[in-house]
Amino acid sequence: MPEELPPIGRVERARAAYHGLAPNLRGALWMLASAICFTAMTTLIKFLGDDYPAALQTFYRSAAGFVVLLPMILRDVKGAFRTTRLGILLFRSGAGTIGMILSFYSFQTLPLAEANALSFTRTLWLVPLAFFVLRESLGAWRIGAALFGFVGVTVMLAPGFVAGGDHGFGWGQAAALGSAALFAMTITGMKVMTRDHSPFVLLVYAAVLGLVFSIPPALFVWAWPTWPDFALLCAMGVIGTITQACYIKGMQIGDAAAMAPIDYTRLVFTVIVGLWIFHEIPTWPTIVGALIVVASTLLITWREQRASKRAD
């Protein structure tokens, strides 16, 4: 009588199910994890914004991320910094640091939902960059899903750009739009680098160079935090590193243009957090726009899964 094999554990079954999914669907799961972590990070940014300017928060976020990665870097220093494209990494880190400062400022000064909505204008840059730089095939469904999601963003922002709206166009909105353009460039550069660089190498360079580039602007607004605030700043940095790791993994597995709509889910999360913690009551345009964003995310995921099954 043949010996019976031990039953497969839950972890093994989950791992097998995960690897059985289409690449773009696996990437979508990583992007969803990134969205949840991003929401937690932006909540801390806004909570600490009255006492710590955006440039200083960027420094602490970069420093905490570097400390988290330091033990892994020391295991293989040479491998962690092995690259043949230092120029792209320098540009990506410089643009990312400036974009992070602008993004932090927008989250400090604007309602969470509005700052998040404006950050999604990077999709308008990401889709053409994915086509011209990465040579990815877009297709009508991908373009349509990205634009459909952006329609939801514009619906949410519409009351702020009409006469008599609750919000005008100020430095916070300009910072959000500027950071969106810079982040679109860094995302495209990241996708290029993942072709011959591991996510860990990209994280190491982002942490080290981001820390170096964040020091000069932080010195102009320097303030020593209290111990409780220091713990929160460190937590913000750790969560930011996890956010970036999940995002890089998602972009590595899936196509850049296909992953863009998945990132819209953090808009829904920030609406919930803004209401719960900061008492930012969402308007009907905010609710309608959020529903449109969710619909675009579900649509692109469903289409990618069906296309993968047909190909198999």
Q: What is the pLDDT at residue 197?
A: 81
pLDDT > 70 in the chain, percent: 83
DSSP state of 73: H
Give the CA angle between residues 297, 300, 304 to the nearest 5°.
Answer: 140
11 vs 2, higher pLDDT: 11
- 3 state SS of 132: helix
Q: What is the pLDDT at residue 259?
A: 76
Residues 8-31 have a mean pLDDT of 77
Is residue 8, in this structure, part of any structural domain at all?
no
Radius of gyration of the chain (CA): 20
Statement: residue 146 has pLDDT above 80: no
Q: For residue 153, with 0-12 CB atoms within 10 Å meaning exposed, 13-18 middle and 19 or more buried, which class applies?
A: buried
Give the tens place of pLDDT for each residue, 243-296.
878 987 887 888 766 776 777 788 788 888 998 999 888 777 767 877 787 777
Is residue 15, in this structure, part of any structural domain at all?
no
Q: What is the pLDDT at residue 306?
A: 66
Report the distance separating Cα 31 and Cα 248, nearest Å: 9
Indicate if the alpha-carbon torsion angle 43, 179, 247, 33 is positive or negative: positive
Lowest mean pLDDT among 96-110, 123-137, 222-236: 123-137
Nearest CA among 267, 290, 12, 286 for reference residue 119 = 267
Nearest CA among 125, 117, 124, 122 for reference residue 167 = 117
Nearest CA among 244, 264, 252 for reference residue 23 = 252
CA 146 to the chain's CA centroid: 16
Q: What is the pLDDT at residue 166?
A: 46
256 vs 69, higher pLDDT: 69
Is residue 9, in this structure, part of any structural domain at all?
no
- Which tokens sit at 167? 């919000």
Statement: residue 101 has pLDDT above 90: yes
Residue with the two structure tokens 């899964």: 305
Lowest mean pLDDT among 96-105, 131-140, 199-208: 131-140
Residues 6 or more apart whose Cβ sits within 8 Å of residue 39: 266, 269, 270, 273
Nearest CA among 111, 103, 93 for reference residue 54 = 103
The count of domains in the chain is 1
Looking at mean pLDDT, say which of 50-59, 113-122, 265-274 comes out highest: 50-59
Is residue 282, in this structure, part of any structural domain at all?
yes
Is residue 272, in this structure, part of any structural domain at all?
yes
Is residue 296, in this structure, part of any structural domain at all?
yes
Statement: residue 220 has pLDDT above 70: yes
Q: What is the pLDDT at residue 164?
A: 41
Is residue 260, in this structure, part of any structural domain at all?
yes
Domain that holds residue 122: 29-307
Give the tens place of pLDDT for each residue, 161-186.
543 444 455 688 789 888 988 988 88
Residues 42-46 have a mean pLDDT of 94
Residue with the two structure tokens 């976020």: 61
Looking at mean pLDDT, say which of 5-9, 77-81, 134-138 comes out highest: 77-81
Nearest CA among 132, 129, 169 for reference residue 146 = 129
Is residue 302, in this structure, part of any structural domain at all?
yes
Average pLDDT score, the chain: 81
Lowest mean pLDDT among 223-227, 279-283, 292-296, 299-303: 299-303
Report the distance separating Cα 259 and Cα 167, nearest Å: 30
Residues 6 or more apart whose Cβ sits within 8 Å of residue 83: 89, 197, 201, 205
Report the distance separating Cα 211 and Cα 59, nearest Å: 6
Q: What is the pLDDT at residue 28?
A: 86
